[in-house]
């Protein structure tokens, strides 16, 4: 799956930001702020953001940790990272960007206070291995933060599923020229474990002393927080 996913993100990289803004109505900005808050990152913290894409969450963390903190943003798709350094420079923020696979990070053990991944863990071949690898590079007592889509229920859930299956592929295809990518993304989100089921994956990883799920917008997304043993 990794090769196919890399090629898909490569094809939409140049239009990813504007498409994300349109399709989420800007709500993704609030979700990122919530993830940063729940991470308990503070001035001077060391943060790793996996599957950083064009760097939005990494930049949000850098604003939080300040000039004395360090933020490293990684992604396995070089094309997605291409615009990230310029975006950081324009914002006056110093962030390191590296091409890395979240399941096989070439970073030292216990070197970060926080590791995060937003809307990326459902695209890795082995989510449990990814959760273990992110925990490996975080010091004991530090946090792993996962922001990912959920499956809302009830009337709102029905509306969300209609939007995801019908509107997202049409608008995403129009803006990027790759309708298949914006059919794939909601399809994988609908199939991926959410809520308690994702917490069970964190339990399977065997590296967290505590874990919690925080629903956003009626369960449209979740922020999962694990404390590393």
Q: Enumerate the known binding-site residues for S-adenosyl-L-methionine.
A: 54, 75, 101-102, 118
Q: Which of 18, 146, 2 shows the shortest CA–CA distance to 10?
A: 2
Q: Which of 118, 114, 133, 117 shows the shortest CA–CA distance to 65?
A: 114
From the number of C-beta atoms within 10 Å of its C-beta (0-12, 13-18, 19+), residue 144 rates as: buried
Tokens (6 digits) for 207? 């590296």
Instruction: Please state the φ and ψ torsions of residue 55, each to the nearest 5 degrees.
Output: 95, 10
Cα–Cα distances (Å) from 56 to 52, 69, 187, in that order, read 7, 17, 23
Annotated binding site: 54, 75, 101-102, 118
Assess contact for 189 and 221: CB atoms under 8 A. no
- Our CA angle for 109, 114, 119, nearest 5°, is 110
**Quick count: other Cβ atoms within 10 Å of Cβ 129?**
14
């Amino acid at each position: 799956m990794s090769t196919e996913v890399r090629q898909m993100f490569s094809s939409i990289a140049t239009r990813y930001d504007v498409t994300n803004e349109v399709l989420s109505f800007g709500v993704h900005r609030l979700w990122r702020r919530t993830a940063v808050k729940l991470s308990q990152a503070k001035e001077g913290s060391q943060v790793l953001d996996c599957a950083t894409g064009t760097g939005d969450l990494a930049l949000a963390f850098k604003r939080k940790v300040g000039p004395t903190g360090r933020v490293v943003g990684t992604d396995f798709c070089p094309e997605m990272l291409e615009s990230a350094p310029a975006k950081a420079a324009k914002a006056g923020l110093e962030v390191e960007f590296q091409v890395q696979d979240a399941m096989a990070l070439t970073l030292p053990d216990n070197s970060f206070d926080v590791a995060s991944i937003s809307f990326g863990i459902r695209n890795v071949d082995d989510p449990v291995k990814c959760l273990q690898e992110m925990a490996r590079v975080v010091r004991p007592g530090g946090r792993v933060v996962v922001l990912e889509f959920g499956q809302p229920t009830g009337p709102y859930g029905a509306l969300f599923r209609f939007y995801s299956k019908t509107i997202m592929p049409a608008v995403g295809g129009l803006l990027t020229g790759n309708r298949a990518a914006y059919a794939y993304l909601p399809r994988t989100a609908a199939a991926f474990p959410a809520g308690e089921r994702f917490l069970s994956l964190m339990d399977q990883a065997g590296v967290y002393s505590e874990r919690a799920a925080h629903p956003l917008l009626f369960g449209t997304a979740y922020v999962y927080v694990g404390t590393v043993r």
